[in-house]
């Protein structure tokens, strides 16, 4: 059953009253307001939210509903080919889904012209028209993300949800209230799929009933990844594109708080390594644990032959506790991007190869993500640190792996944080989170990435109610594309979550990288 379906069914008085008026609403949705007969022309662009002016969208995306700020009434005229249609309800433009689909079908590779007429006071104004460009390439029909209050330490009511991008349906994959709360409460994080498919996936649960939920061939079960030989259980995951192997970072993570900086929070690792987990053998091995290096954010290349990761060189002076020293020297931690070759037969990794020496550029590069064609590396870059979602200066950068040249990704960045980026399975779409709306609440943005390697203006994930983001108090993070929805229900996951996790075995990989590997079994929580 769909959450939104339930929502609309079990809504309170106002909504119950609305049920009576559903027919009226439907008529409203399918009716088309007239363009005002008299209006003044303005050369200004309309102040619409979300900003969908001149964006490029996939031909299977849900309607781009928007509202016009400071307007009491609005009519938007959509012209596609020889046809025109109008929409408008109060200050919102809510587009009928069927008509929208028809528009997109007719405009693949073309544009839809949008003219906005807004009423302020008693005056109507026609604003400068804009286009919505429809790309020929479709987008993967599903995404999943974590919904979380922009929390600091406490967590409650957080979920991993999936959204059908072709409409507005959103369902929960799992939430932390279904198993436990209060002192036994869970933190849920870091979902990952194998090659965009959901039959093999995983996510973590921390604290109460903690463990990692593995789904192998659509069968869920819980594992306990804590061992005496690793820093922590697995944290940032990445499924090998074809093999039942998941790469993880293991982290000792802490948080501290900026007294005045609007970044507010600094999430820092004091230790981190990279490991792999063999799902079928239930074994973990160390990939990289070099002394004075903090390896993090592993990500497989699409061919599975390389494991990319970020790593920061940090030598403790040991005059104070490591946590304290990290807080004191927080602005001197900079991650560069490395990769190691992987031989699937021997399960051996090669020596680290520098891919992008971010530290040499005095910046910190995180979350390496390789495009499905293997040509581009997309990274988040900020001045320092590993958790760029809290860094307003963080932007997305693109490296052409052929030329090794890196550039700030055009058209997608803002003066606020961009992070948690991900490629669609066809490589034509990039989804990422941005705090450009208000610097505090992360929202999902999608950008078209054309065959020439150029990104186009990003658009905010459309919602049925265009004002939704204005009142929604949760942040989105870790958006991941999927070609199909997760079939397992939250209740099924809950049943498994309550069981004890299967203990994983640590196997020495014999890599030189294990030398000097630190050991620490403390608990970690990543927001």
Interacting residues with other proteins (CB under 8 A): 1, 3, 6-7, 10-15, 149-157, 159, 172, 175, 177-183, 256-262, 264, 266, 327-328, 330, 437-441, 465, 467-468, 470-473, 489-491, 494
Residue with Cβ nearer other proteins (470 or 522): 470
Q: Do β-strands 83-87 and 92-93 pair in parallel, antiparallel, or remain unpaired?
A: unpaired
Residue from 377, 376, 363, 245 nearest 309 by CA: 377
Q: To the nearest whole angstrom, how small is the minimum distance from the Cβ of residue 520 to other proteins?
A: 21
Distances 443 to 85, 267, 435 between C-alpha atoms, Å: 30, 19, 6
Q: To the nearest whole angstrom, how small is the minimum distance from the Cβ of residue 208 to other proteins?
A: 11
Contact between 290 and 320 under an 8 Å Cβ cutoff? The reply is no
Q: To the nearest whole angstrom, how small is the minimum distance from the Cβ of residue 176 to other proteins?
A: 9
Residue with Cβ nearer other proteins (147 or 458): 147
Q: To the nearest whole angstrom, how small is the minimum distance from the Cβ of residue 261 to other proteins?
A: 5
Q: To the nearest whole angstrom, how small is the minimum distance from the Cβ of residue 268 to other proteins?
A: 9
User: For residue 81, with 0-12 CB atoms within 10 Å meaning exposed, 13-18 middle and 19 or more buried, which class applies?
Assistant: exposed
Q: State the Cα–Cα distance between residues 241 and 269, nearest whole angstrom.
A: 27
Residue with Cβ nearer other proteins (238 or 384): 384
Element housing 145 (H / E)? strand 142-148
Q: To the nearest whole angstrom, how small is the minimum distance from the Cβ of residue 75 to other proteins?
A: 23
Residue with Cβ nearer other proteins (14 or 82): 14
Residue with Cβ nearer other proteins (51 or 138): 51
Residue with Cβ nearer other proteins (74 or 337): 74
DSSP 495: H
Q: To the nearest whole angstrom, how small is the minimum distance from the Cβ of residue 66 to other proteins?
A: 16
Residue with Cβ nearer other proteins (171 or 511): 171
Element housing 117 (H / E)? strand 111-120
How many C-beta atoms surround the C-beta of residue 43 within 10 A?
A: 6
Distances 14 to 11, 19, 25, 67, 93 between C-alpha atoms, Å: 8, 9, 14, 22, 21
Burial 347-386 (b: 16+ CB within 10 A, else e): bebeebeebbebbeeebbbbbbbbbbeeebbbbbbbebbb
């Amino acid at each position: 059953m769909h959450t939104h379906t339930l929502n609309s069914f079990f809504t309170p008085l106002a909504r119950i009253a609305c049920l009576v008026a559903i027919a009226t609403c439907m008529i409203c949705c399918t009716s088309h307001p007239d363009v005002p007969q008299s209006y003044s022309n303005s050369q200004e662009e309309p102040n619409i939210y979300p900003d969908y002016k001149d964006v490029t969208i996939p031909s299977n995306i849900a309607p781009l509903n928007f509202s016009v700020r400071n307007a009491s009434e609005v009519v938007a005229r959509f012209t596609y080919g020889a046809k025109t249609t109008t929409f408008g309800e109060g200050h919102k433009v809510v587009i009928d889904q069927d008509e929208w689909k028809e528009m997109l079908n007719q405009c693949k590779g073309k544009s839809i012209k949008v003219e906005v007429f807004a009423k302020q006071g008693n005056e109507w104004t026609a604003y400068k028209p804009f286009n919505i460009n429809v790309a020929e390439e479709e987008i993967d029909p599903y995404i999943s993300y974590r919904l979380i209050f922009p929390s600091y330490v406490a967590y409650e009511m957080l979920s991993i949800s999936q959204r059908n991008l072709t409409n507005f349906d959103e369902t929960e994959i799992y939430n932390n209230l279904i198993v436990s709360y209060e002192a036994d409460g869970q933190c849920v994080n870091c979902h990952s799929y194998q090659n965009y498919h959901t039959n093999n996936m995983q996510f973590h649960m921390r604290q109460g009933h903690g463990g990692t939920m593995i789904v192998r061939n659509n069968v869920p079960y819980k594992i306990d990844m804590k061992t005496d030989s690793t820093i922590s259980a697995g944290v940032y995951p990445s499924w090998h594109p074809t093999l039942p192997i998941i790469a993880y970072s293991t982290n000792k993570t802490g948080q501290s708080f900026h007294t005045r900086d609007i970044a507010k929070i600094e999430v820092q690792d004091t230790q981190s390594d990279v490991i792999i987990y063999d799902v079928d053998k239930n074994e973990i091995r160390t990939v990289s644990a070099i002394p004075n290096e903090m390896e993090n954010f592993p990500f497989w290349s699409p061919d599975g032959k390389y494991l990319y990761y970020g790593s920061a060189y940090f030598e403790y002076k040991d005059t104070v506790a490591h946590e304290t020293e990290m807080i004191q020297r927080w602005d001197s931690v900079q991650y560069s991007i490395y990769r190691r070759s992987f031989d699937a037969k021997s399960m051996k990794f090669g020596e680290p190869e520098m891919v992008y020496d971010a530290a040499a550029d005095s910046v910190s590069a995180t979350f390496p993500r390789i495009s499905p064609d293997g040509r581009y590396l997309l990274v988040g870059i900020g001045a320092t640190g590993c958790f760029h979602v809290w860094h307003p200066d963080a932007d997305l950068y693109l490296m052409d792996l052929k030329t090794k040249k890196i550039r700030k990704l055009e058209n997608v960045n803002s003066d606020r944080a961009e992070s948690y980026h991900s490629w669609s399975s066809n490589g034509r779409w990039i989804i990422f989170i941005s705090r450009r709306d208000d610097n505090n609440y992360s929202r999902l943005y999608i950008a078209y990435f054309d065959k020439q390697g150029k990104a186009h203006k990003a658009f905010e994930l459309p919602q049925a109610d265009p004002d939704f983001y204005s009142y929604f108090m949760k942040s989105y993070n870790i958006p991941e594309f999927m070609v199909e929805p997760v079939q397992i229900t939250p209740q099924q996951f809950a049943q498994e979550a309550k069981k004890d996790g299967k203990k994983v075995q640590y196997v020495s990989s014999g890599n030189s990288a294990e030398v000097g590997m630190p050991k620490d079994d403390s608990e970690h929580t990543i927001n």
